[in-house]
Copies of this chain bind each other. A is one copy, B any other.
């Protein structure tokens, strides 16, 4: 039905009316005092969201641009890096690192399983020559719905002494606590169309003092993604290149809403929605794809045995105007994913479970008691 589509994919996520309306303001000059005020205010808000005193820089681009910037600004050609890979985004950072001639050692886990912090500890402890310059990993692996134990891995990196932690927090930031300073993370990349409750187009890179020291040594070529230029401009409440001004309006509106809700409330909401989505799927008899206890607060991946995930997804969209995400790469047809990231309320999760259940009924594929999924979901939401 026209204009009725509800997004329950891991990005773009739903956007509040307040934020959409902010987008529709006429642009102002990006070198004006009025725009400087917006840059100053949003920078403070971004630091609040990252729980950090570090620089948080804004790039016009996607989350990949943020992660690439984070990698190429603190490393040099031939540098050894450890990359965690347990999904499509883990894979992507390996590709970025290799594209720039880094010496990549991959620590893998099966898709659906979390990265093993002990594997990182072992590799880092074995590196007595201190050859490893950085550990690159994804916190919430969007492709599989797995949350990795970033806190433990960052602690092992700290113990190494010289390596940096570069974390893709694209679908974890704003969904669960990512205390940059407390965990000692050096670089965090994220994107606007996720926990920020905004349309896509802005990317964020937070950079620690240790990472800035590495920046001074970095010899990888860059210009648009040269974070030194962004830092210099940010310290003057400005941007090195014309930014997506209207997305900045949206950013401020969204961050005001997030501050009004409060970090703890935001994280509790996402945890509740994860529990409710999982309970609903469990009651319907649809197995989760992520290993038990390692589900992301942003996204629940479901692997419906013996059911074509794509046709289920298609029916949910056509019959109930809810867009779920499909499986990526070899998971296509085997997995669907429920996004519960950003501007999502209890009703949205309840509705998604109800629509999935109704679709299974309609297709004659519901194996349990009709309504059991919604009942379990509601019970989890009430807890």
Q: Which residues from chain A sit less than 8 Å from chain B, CB to CB?
A: 3, 5, 7, 9, 11-12, 14-15, 20-21, 23-30, 32, 60-65, 68, 72, 95-96, 99-101, 191, 193, 199-201, 220-226, 241-247, 323
B26, A23: Cβ atoms closer than 8 Å:
no
Choose from B12, B23, B63, B241 the contact partner of A62 (Cβ within 8 Å).
Answer: B241
Residues in B with CB closer than 8 Å to A223 are 64, 68, 95-96, 99-100
Nearest CB of B to A61, in Å: 5
B27, A244: Cβ atoms closer than 8 Å:
no
Most buried by B among A21, A62, A201, A222: A201
Copies in the complex: 2
A301–B349 CA distance with the chains assembled, in angstroms: 56
Nearest CB of B to A355, in Å: 16
A29–B9 CA distance with the chains assembled, in angstroms: 8
With A20-B24, A61-B65, A223-B99 as given contacts, are A247 and B244 in contact (CB-CB < 8 Å)? yes
B243, A200: Cβ atoms closer than 8 Å:
yes
Nearest CB of B to A313, in Å: 11
Nearest CB of B to A232, in Å: 14
B26, A14: Cβ atoms closer than 8 Å:
yes
A64, B101: Cβ atoms closer than 8 Å:
no
Choose from B24, B96, B242 the contact partner of A191 (Cβ within 8 Å).
Answer: B242
Q: Using CB atoms, name the residue of chain B closest to A193.
A: B242
Which 9 pairs between the two chains have the least Cβ-Cβ distance?
A201-B244, A24-B24, A62-B241, A12-B27, A199-B246, A65-B224, A100-B221, A20-B24, A200-B242
